[in-house]
Amino acid sequence: MSDSTDFPQQLQQALKHSDNGEPTKAAAIYRDILTRQPNHYEANYSLGMLCHRSDRNDLAIPLIRKSVELRPEIFAGVINLGMMQRDEGLLADSRVNLEQATTMQPDSAIAHVTLALLLMDLGELDAALQEMKVGQRLDPEDPEIHARVAMLHQVRGEDEAAANHYRKVIDRLPNSGTAHRSLAFLQKHTNYNDDISRAEKAFNSPQIPARDRMLLGNALGKVFDDLGHYDKAFAYLHTANKLQRQTHNYSIEQQKPFFERHKKWLNKELPVHCRDYAISDDTAIFVVGMPRSGTSLVEQILASHPLAHGAGEVEYSRLMVDAVQQVTRKPFPVDINRVAPEILQNAGFAYIKKLRSNAGNAKRVIDKLPHNFLRVGLYAAVLPGARIIHCVRHPLDNCMSIYQHLFGPAHAYASDLSDLGQYYRLYRDLMEWWEEILPGHIHKVRYEDLVIDTEKQVRLMLDYCDLPFHEDCLAFHKTRRQVKTPSASQVRQPVYQKSVSRWKNYQEHLGPLFAALDLYPDVT
């Protein structure tokens, strides 16, 4: 048992550095303490939390786990460990700790709500709802809990219950952009109503923070698109995207060498380099493409098959990227040919293990991260048994749909029409490169074909994935699983064709996008 009174001066100095925004100095002190006393509780816990706040859960989890071993009676360590494990997809381990947290403090609303979120991840939606209700009973006025309850009802397909909880959030926080946006995307609006009136009032409030105004602008863009008031919808969308753009330091010119780097190093020689160490395992199905190209729909169709599991938008393939960078000490994939194929093989096995961690006995596991299109050459070399499905949609529909949804810093191109069009060209060029050097390795699914002749396209996909046809794949909208993308509501509905050629509603506003995409002769 460690004694937290050991090294009091060092601990005080580390805390001072943390409070002053100097986490590196604080971490150095904690590491020095652990060098001398590995079982020091406070140094393990505090360094773990510093790593967590730096988005390094891979380093944080062992430290927090050690602190829990040393002081298992401390609630903060147990619940934080469970939260981090959930973030990293370690769902079984997370469950142990989050259930322990609710036992340690049964009156903690956050413990029950966090456990409910984990149960959602596991697909245990009834149990999740029970835990969420406990959290709500313990803290009925917390708008964040109402938002979580609403999200759970939405996942369960209980849209009216979800809407009522979002309205309760808005009652307490009238300017909550998150709640207004969630409510807007939950409904198909056919007339102007109180929800819209409240959202416009909040948008025009002089006290509203920029982020909430951005979210409200995006919500109102969706609302007036529903109502067919396309000029008004675009005005709101344009405002929202301008506000979003102000939060990013982005240049499309910096993206061009980034894409060229992937073409240069993930070339046709990489499979030769990996040939004797390539992994024959065929578990993975990579679903790639631009966001809003139909990737969620394809994943939902495949995940409805009894022999398949949808892992969602996971970052597990970072294991392979990190393994390369640890050797080269350069931006991925520079000098990947210097990495021993044994290292790539080990990283590939680690990826498969992670991918299968919550998949039960599924024969195939779908890794649906659209921007995995950047690494197709890596997957084809290390995991030649994996399937790669490329989702394609008409460029103008695809780009306009992206513009209608707010994306984070990783998609900073999305908030400017010119940048968006130029980024689409870079993506298109790279995918053509993969098809050229990896003939027959990629199965292309066109969104328009999928919604017009669904059964034919589903059969082709299943055949490519070596899965027998199953009727559940045509009834994908009935499959109960959590979808954490802007397409969540769409995949709860049968296939529809109303999203084809929707760009025409905004044609007069899309000049910068037309100019950017005119470099491709087939965009019109």
Structure tokens given for 232: 């008004």
Over range 440-465, report the average pLDDT: 95
**Per-residue pLDDT averaged across 216-226, rounded?**
98
Interval 53-81 mean pLDDT: 95
- Give Cβ neighbours of residue 360 (< 8 Å, ≥ 6 apart): 309
Mean pLDDT on 303-310 = 95
Predicted local distance difference test score (pLDDT) of residue 337: 96
> Alpha helices of 356-394 — where are they, by DSSP H?
376-382
Kindly give, in sequence order, each residue whose CB lies less than 8 Å from that of residue 145, ignoring residues fewer than 6 positions away.
109, 113, 132, 135, 136, 139
Q: What is the mean pLDDT of the chain?
A: 92
* Helical pair 143-155 and 177-186, crossing angle rounded to 10 deg: 20
272 by Cβ neighbours in 10 Å (0-12 / 13-18 / 19+) ranks as exposed
d(CA 476, CA 126): 20
Lowest mean pLDDT among 298-302, 407-411, 476-480: 476-480
Averaged over 425-447, what is the pLDDT?
96
Q: How confident is the model at residue 425 (pLDDT cuts 50, 70, 90)?
A: very high
With beta carbons less than 8 A apart as the criterion, state whether 279 and 348 touch.
yes
Q: Please say whether the beta carbons of 27 and 47 come within 8 A.
A: yes
- pLDDT tens digits for 341-394? 999 999 999 999 999 988 989 999 999 999 999 999 999 999 999 999 999 999
d(CA 88, CA 106): 25
Helix, strand, coil share of the chain (percent; to 5): 65, 5, 30
**Domain layout of the chain by residue ranges:** 253-504
Which pLDDT score is estimated for 221? 98
CATH topology of domain 253-504: Rossmann fold (3.40.50)
Residue 296's contacts (CB-CB under 8 Å, 6 or more residues apart) are 368, 483, 485, 487, 488, 490, 491
493 pLDDT more than 70: no
- pLDDT score of 32: 94
What's the pLDDT tens digit per position in 383-407?
999 999 999 999 999 999 999 999 9
- 125-170 tens-digit pLDDT: 999 999 999 999 999 989 989 999 999 998 888 999 999 999 999 9
Each residue of 52-65: pLDDT tens digit? Answer: 999 889 899 999 99
Omega prior to 486 cis, within 30 of 0: no
pLDDT of residue 501: 87
pLDDT bracket for residue 490 (50, 70, 90)? low
Whether the Cβ atoms of residue 33 and residue 10 lie closer than 8 Å to each other: yes
> What's this model's pTM, rounded to 2 decimal places?
0.82
**In this predicted structure, what is the pLDDT of residue 409?**
85
